[in-house]
Structure 1
């Protein structure tokens, strides 16, 4: 009983870590099943959703056990996913004992994120690049770069103080729009819409939308619907932030610079 429960816990913990860091539902399900079978548990069932794992092992034996795990939707960390995939391969090829697997699992889960200055700098670079890609000038990209730096600083701060990502997206898109309007009001000849488009791209839920489409193609309709709703609500939050600031600006100034 104890051994079966420990193996099932290891498999679910690995699946939890994968799902929490942005892995696809079908990959998480396959990983949990392969880990269970690698430790000679063939009588097992696993059902994975975008925000939950249901697993059972040895249902028809005395050491039967089951486990349910809630996994909130989170951000993507490809480094942890790659390390967890490598761990599962070693388990399946019997290169890693049960005790070593637990140690390796904790090491995979503790892989740090990028340093703050790296995220801040490349958010600025990405914002500038998207601004130019969508028709902005070199000056627009230059302005978008610095606004992108401010946006990422806000996002890092919001991770510590704001629990709702929808509020974060509303405020983040609002800040981007407000800063672009300040630059425009200062008399700098920028294309304000291009700057805003470039700077809201780091907020756009591209991964959630792509994941939902892949889930639909794989027949995971419930998980696909969850990711699709998440993407739609995120996009709506971004639109609310941009629209609210522009509307307020037009009410205060008459919107002369936006015409």
Structure 2
């Protein structure tokens, strides 16, 4: 590993190389932050990549909406704004694997940049139909976990799948996360009501609870607690607010459906 770093120091010990390292670090941080990684992981990954290429004294500041990366003793500062965030743990794992290979001296800077661009441009890990099917199956399982009746499996299956489908559709229609969550919750509530009225559903509360569970912001809540415990108060509090708004949108959507009845 030392020989690897010395090779880069001798060959590319220029300001241009430092700028390239900074750009690659920010790209890695951007992928992690956009796909559900906690703040500490984003900052640690960027710093480790910089140190692996013998670019020391790197400083990073990460919030849920932006990344600032700077290298002391060099005229290098990178700033990027994060406008969309989601959960794609596959991309997080891929970037983590790459960072470990970089630390072991197995990947050069050019190859790392190429691989990160490929990860960043890759489409959704799973097609829409598979996400809908997974949400439908998960909703049925949550129904049983909350001691619902076996007769309510089908309504929960349909409501959960329709809710996920609505989430995908409304998010493509309007790029406002809370709007899509609100509308998909209304869809779930209306399907639960209809299933009870036509006689294929029995416990509307259990059906709704099971169907909305895939919409619950589990990863943001976990990351918020993790960030607060690590001392990243800005990120932790903002993620907590985002999670609460998501829960509020889901609750209001279900309530609106019941009121419409």
1:130-169 equivalences in 2 (<5 Å): 130-169=142-181
Give 1:21 shift: 0.8
Instruction: Note the C-alpha offset of 1:173.
Output: 0.7
Could you say which residue in structure 2 is the equivalent of 1:78? 89
C-alpha separation between the residues in 2 aligned to 1:116 and 1:49?
A: 29
The structure 1 residue matched to 2:247, chosen from 235, 238, 244, is: 235
Q: What is the CA-CA distance between 1:43 and the residue it aligns to?
A: 2.3
Query: Where does residue 5 of structure 2 map in the other structure?
Result: none
Single out whichever of 83-92 and 41-50 deviates more from structure 2.
41-50
1: distance between equivalents of 2:104 and 2:44?
15
TM-fit CA distance, 1:117: 2.1
Residue in structure 1 matched with residue 238 of structure 2 by the alignment: 226
Aligned residues of 2:29 and 2:46 also touching (Cα < 8 A) = yes
What are the ranges of 5 or more consecutive residues in structure 2 without an aligned counterpart? 1-14
Question: Are the equivalent residues in 1 in contact too, given 2:139–2:213 (CA < 8 A)?
Answer: yes
Deviations along 1:196-250, one digit per CA (max 9) or x if unpaired, are: 011111111111111111111111111110110001111111111111121221x
2:106 is the counterpart of 1:95: yes
The answer as to whether partners of 2:132 and 2:161 remain within 8 angstroms in 1 is yes
Q: 1:117: which partner in 2?
A: 129
SS at match of 2:37: coil
2:192·2:201 contact (CA, 8 Å) conserved in 1? no
Q: Is the 8 A contact 1:80 1:111 kept in 2?
A: no
Deviation, structure 1 residue 141? 1.7
2:167–2:183 CA contact under 8 A, matched in 1: no
Aligned residues: 246
Root-mean-square deviation (CA), in Å?
1.3
- Given candidates 135, 157, 174, the residue that maps to 2:186 is 174
Deviation per CA, 1:146-202: give whole Å up to 9, x if none. Answer: 122222222222232121111111111111011111111113351011000111111
Q: Which residue matches 1:11?
A: 25
Structure-2 residue corresponding to 1:48: 62
- 2:141 alignment partner in structure 1: 129
Q: Does 1:203 align with 2:205?
A: no
Q: Which residue in the other structure is 1:35 paired with?
A: 49
Displacement, 1:91? 1.2
CA distance in 2, matches of 1:110, 1:73: 14
CA contact (8 A) 1:214 1:224 kept: yes
- Paired residue for 2:4? none
Unaligned runs of 5+ in 1: 250-259
